[in-house]
Amino acid sequence: MQVRELNGKDAEDYYELRLEALLTNPDAFITTYEQEKQRPDPLVKTAERLDSPSSRTFGLFEDGTLCGTATLVKETHPKFSHKGSIVAMYVSPGCRRKGGAALLLQEVINFSKAIELEVLHLNVVTDNTPAKKLYEKVGFQSYGLERKAIKIADRYLDEELMELFLTE
């Protein structure tokens, strides 16, 4: 498995994987499959997001096929510029339990250190035990809980807030 930063040329593969993620793990994402499918010019918008200087998206590849992604969003306000957030993390079921997700996260962490971030944050739905274990494995620690963070129809999902200090 290999990891590299994605760019606008990866838009079609990223978009297809994003749709898979929204269908496979709908509770893990705020955007729904239906919302994503209704976006005008989805490949153009996806390419623009992948080329945006405000975030970096990394892809996990197995045999040349994109099977995982994680996006780093760096805070832009000067007083918060030492922090970043990992969002939209997903690995296809066929690529899970092979060490690729940890490899993907480690690449994001290494890049974050290289651009001198000091703290990484992420949120994970509390009942997503495999994801929580993965984040803990690479060093993230829980610092809070947001109850009823997500509302889907008539049910709520709580999110665990996690952080990783890159300098100590």
Task: Reply yes or no on whether the pLDDT at 136 is more than 90.
Answer: yes
Task: Reply yes or no on whether the pLDDT at 168 is more than 80.
Answer: no
Residue 28: the pLDDT is: 83
* % of the chain with per-residue pLDDT over 90: 78
Q: How far apart are CA 15 and CA 32, in angstroms?
A: 13
Rounded mean pLDDT, 5-27: 93
Q: Parallel, antiparallel, or unpaired: how do β-strands 83-91 and 119-125 relate?
A: parallel
Task: Reply yes or no on whether the pLDDT at 89 is more than 90.
Answer: yes
Burial 104-142 (b: 16+ CB within 10 A, else e): bbebbbebbeeeebebbbbbbbbebeebbebbeebebee
Residue 103: the pLDDT is: 96
pTM of the model: 0.91
Q: Where are the domains of the chain?
A: 2-165
Residue 157: the pLDDT is: 93
* % of the chain with per-residue pLDDT over 70: 99
Distances from the Cα of 82 to the Cα of 74, 77, 78, 89, 116, angstroms:
8, 9, 8, 21, 7
Fold of 2-165: Aminopeptidase (3.40.630)
Residue 61: the pLDDT is: 97
* Cα 33 from chain centroid (whole Å): 16
Per DSSP, the three-state class of 11 is helix
Going by pLDDT thresholds of 50, 70 and 90, the confidence category of residue 162 is very high
Q: What are phi and psi of 144, to 5 degrees?
A: 175, 175
- The residue type at 15: Y
- The residue type at 47: A
CB atoms under 10 Å from CB of 25, counted, come to 15
Which two tokens mark 35? 């919302």
Distances from the Cα of 31 to the Cα of 19, 42, 58, 132, angstroms:
10, 14, 19, 20
pLDDT, mean over the chain: 93
pLDDT, tens digit, 9 for 90 and up, residues 23-73 = 988 888 888 888 888 888 889 999 999 998 889 999 999 999 999 999 999
